[in-house]
Structure 1
Amino acid sequence: MLAVTAADHPAPGPRPDGPVAVLANPTAGRGRHGSLLPRLLDRLATAGRPVRLLEAGTGAQAEAACRAAVADGAAALVTVGGDGTVHRGLQAVAGTGVPFAPVPAGTGNDFAADTGFPADPLAAVETVAAALREGRTRPVDLARLTGPGGDTRWYGAVLAAGFDAIVNERANRMRRPRGPRRYDLAILVELARLRPRRYTLRLDGEPLECDAVLVAVGNCASYGGGMRICPDADPTDGLLDVVVGGRFDRRTLIRVKPRIYRGTHVRHPLVSTHRARTVELAAEGITTYADGERCLDLPVTVTAVPGAVRLLR
């Protein structure tokens, strides 16, 4: 199988005199960093380039605005928000050569953390401005997700395709309660319904069938705001890390879950880990979530694309 690289996805590329496009999510992190946005934009402007704040009211509009900015020759794209905002931006810059930077301001900032950006938004934007001034970027891998109909999404952190994805899907269907309690209730409902599902995987063409309650495919190590589900994943090695949680019952799953924050869950005898460039993944009734965002229904193919994005770091 041929390796897929960012060069397989040609795009117009950045204009040297183009603006720095900024996608900001004012509701990220429950709005706790919303008042920082003017200061962040001012500090970006110290790089000596025009700064253009993109307008969008929905996720789809945000993605369209990012794509339009890249097509118009933006010199770089910066997102201010969490992993969901990063996810929207990555759809526009993947494979284009347009530099990208996440300024972490969300509830979950896993991609920013795992690629070395400071956790403080002001410190992160100083890093980005310095990289812009010096013309400094570094390549980082992304994962490309493809459905059987040819639909494609990119992600930077982790693809959830098991119990975690099912909980997200349940929470998104619920209208009440509002806020984080809705997610907590969704966990309780799905724990009561927990059962292993039959998964069929192909790892670089090698078949693997298993009964499991959790499957995660990581380009980076973390999801969900610091849960190190794929603790050994490295977004510069050209590979995907696959973590499979087998036939867990409710009690065992609850007991093991806290270990995910330390990454020590992979030592449990019901957990197996794998590494591959291409992962084909199938199971009945699963909608995947990548970077915390709803993506494609299984079956999917996930491919590691080396150097698919250049980070301003």
Structure 2
Amino acid sequence: MRPPRTIAVVAHQRKTLDGGLDELRRRITDHKIKKLFWYEIPKSRKAPDRVRKALRKDPDLIVVWGGDGMVQRTLDVVAGSDVPVAIMPAGTGNLFAGNLGIPTDLEQAVEIAFSGRRRRLDLGRLDLGGLGGEHFAVMAGVGFDGAMIKDADGDLKDRLGKLAYVWTGIRHVGAEAPRTRIEVDGTPWFDDAASCVLIGNVGTITGGIRAFDDATPTDGWLDVGVATAQGALQWARALGTMAVGRSDHSPFVRTTRARRVDVRLAGKLPYELDGGARGRTRKFSASVVPGAVRVCVPQSSGDSTDR
């Protein structure tokens, strides 16, 4: 593998890791690169414009500094290109990085950027009909999950970190469970009341919960989960089962795998992508995009083949 000589960094100014962005710059320039393009932004939603500018510089590597929101918005733009992405996990949850074995240690993360494997990974893509769509790396969720993340997003998450999800989750355990119709690969699969629908590209989601035991972002599949739990007692039983065993062993959870998922809800509910709150919707489709991006991962990560 030829060492990257032209590097583009897209960084969330409010996210921190070890010595911060000054240390990141020093560690990158230690590798005797030829050019360094640097973009700092105050909010992750501004990332796509900077990533597009970075791609026009024809970099050998894009380095993204931030949490799952920054990573999701970066990969959404990079998807389909051949430019590898290195993740500096400076966010709250760092779910995608954690699933890939990228540590929250700046020295090690930079070393993976320069010496790790460039691995082809799947993404999911969520589409809202005529309203367009976005790629996601970790999960898409609607219902309890979407409402929890919507309330935790912003100042509360900045103050409490991961505890923000616990606090808002408690508030939403009694939320409505509308009738939900789901088709997987064109076949009817679920038609009943559901408090939460999750579509995962990896196994571990918000709060460190292992929601999809067999999920991997290299298998060409999305994992689908529906929770029917209502009220504190049923949610406690469902989450307890996930904590000590397989999620699909819970009587309040149903799972399957699909390449395309179509979801129709009786009413509009908030949805989220990779822990980032979006709007409200009553229908959406999600499909897998195999090998959509190249991501720098540890040499020992996953199987021995890249796509």
Per the shorter chain, which TM-score range? 0.7 to 0.9
- Across the aligned residues of Structure 1 and Structure 2, the Cα RMSD in angstroms comes to 2.6
Over residues 268-311 of structure 1, what are the superposed CA-to-partner deviations in whole Å (9 max), with x where a residue is unaligned?
Answer: 12211100001111212222111111235341111101110011
1:301 aligns with 2:301: no
1:36-75 to structure 2, matched below 5 A, reads: 36-49=20-33, 50-75=35-60
- 1:196 aligned residue (177, 180, 203): 177
Q: Higher strand proportion, which one?
A: 2
1:36: Cα distance to partner? Answer: 3.1
1:105-254 to structure 2, matched below 5 A, reads: 105-131=90-116, 136-172=117-153, 179-180=159-160, 183-191=165-173, 193-208=174-189, 209-254=191-236
1:240: Cα distance to partner? Answer: 0.2
What secondary structure sits across from 1:142 in the alignment?
strand
1:255 aligns with 2:255: no
**Unaligned stretches of 5+ residues in structure 2:** 298-307
1:99 aligns with 2:84: yes
Structure 1 CA distance for aligned equivalents of residues 259 and 32 of structure 2: 39
1:260: Cα distance to partner? Answer: 3.5
- Look up the match of 1:11: none
1:288 aligns with 2:297: no
In structure 2, the CA distance between the partners of 1:94 and 1:187, relative to structure 1 (3 Å rule), is same
Over residues 164-213 of structure 1, what are the superposed CA-to-partner deviations in whole Å (9 max), with x where a residue is unaligned?
Answer: 1112234459x87973376555334322x423221111100011222211
Task: Indicate conservation of the 8 Å contact 2:12/2:43, yes or no.
Answer: no
In structure 2, the CA distance between the partners of 1:177 and 1:123, relative to structure 1 (3 Å rule), is closer
1:263: Cα distance to partner? Answer: 5.7
1:95: Cα distance to partner? Answer: 0.9
- Look up the match of 2:249: 267
Task: Indicate conservation of the 8 Å contact 1:217/1:230, yes or no.
Answer: no
1:264: Cα distance to partner? Answer: 2.8
In structure 2, the CA distance between the partners of 1:262 and 1:77, relative to structure 1 (3 Å rule), is farther
In structure 2, the CA distance between the partners of 1:294 and 1:203, relative to structure 1 (3 Å rule), is same
Query: How many residue pairs are counted as aligned between the two chains?
Result: 289
1:115: Cα distance to partner? Answer: 2.1
- Look up the match of 2:301: none
Structure 1 CA distance for aligned equivalents of residues 282 and 31 of structure 2: 43
Structure 2 CA distance for aligned equivalents of residues 259 and 98 of structure 1: 40
Structure 2 CA distance for aligned equivalents of residues 20 and 51 of structure 1: 5
1:27 aligns with 2:8: no
Structure 2 CA distance for aligned equivalents of residues 217 and 141 of structure 1: 13
Task: Indicate conservation of the 8 Å contact 2:142/2:269, yes or no.
Answer: yes
Over residues 61-104 of structure 1, what are the superposed CA-to-partner deviations in whole Å (9 max), with x where a residue is unaligned?
Answer: 22211122113322221112221121121122111111112121
In structure 2, the CA distance between the partners of 1:23 and 1:287, relative to structure 1 (3 Å rule), is same
- Which amino acid in the other structure matches residue 295 of structure 2? L
Structure 1 CA distance for aligned equivalents of residues 157 and 294 of structure 2: 40
What secondary structure sits across from 2:168 in the alignment?
helix
Report the identity percentage: 31
